[in-house]
Amino acid sequence: MKPSEDDTVRFYACKAIENITAQSQSAGHSLATVPTCKCLLEAFLNGGKEAYINTAAVAISHICKLNPILFNYIIDYIPIDDICSILIEENTRIQQAFITTLNVALMHKNEHLLRTLNDS
């Protein structure tokens, strides 16, 4: 999912990641990596079309469930204040994806999240 690729190619690559990580833990674990997380975050932040942004958000929540340490990268890309705004302002699919992501981080007592919340 390189920015130079066609929008349709990027959308379907993101959709494939979302579907694989939702359906297969064994295959999903191979996609729950830092490079994939960074690509999905870029897609979410710069995706443009609503369907692409929704798909990226859901894929982010799926890979975070498979590899909870990825939350550290998520919170570095999207500050906690922006995540709070997402929970208030975005559509329900994106809200649900980020609620799931936060729940995963809290269930695993993510120190990075806890420090960030204490600093806020």
Distance, in Å, from the CA atom of 17 to the CA atom of 6, rounded to the nearest integer, reads 17
- Asked whether the CA dihedral 23, 28, 32, 36 is positive or negative, the reply is negative
Calculate the CA 41 to chain-centre distance: 6
Question: Residue 2: inside a domain, yes or no?
Answer: no
Question: Residue 1: inside a domain, yes or no?
Answer: no
Number of domains present in the structure of the chain: 1
The CA–CA distances, whole Å, from 43 to 14, 26, 29, 36 equal: 8, 24, 20, 10
pLDDT (tens place) for every residue of the chain, 120 residues total: 555 668 888 899 999 999 999 999 899 999 999 999 999 999 999 878 899 999 999 999 999 999 988 988 888 889 888 988 999 987 999 999 999 988 888 877 656 666 666 666
Domain hosting 46: range is: 7-119
Distance, in Å, from the CA atom of 93 to the CA atom of 111, rounded to the nearest integer, reads 27
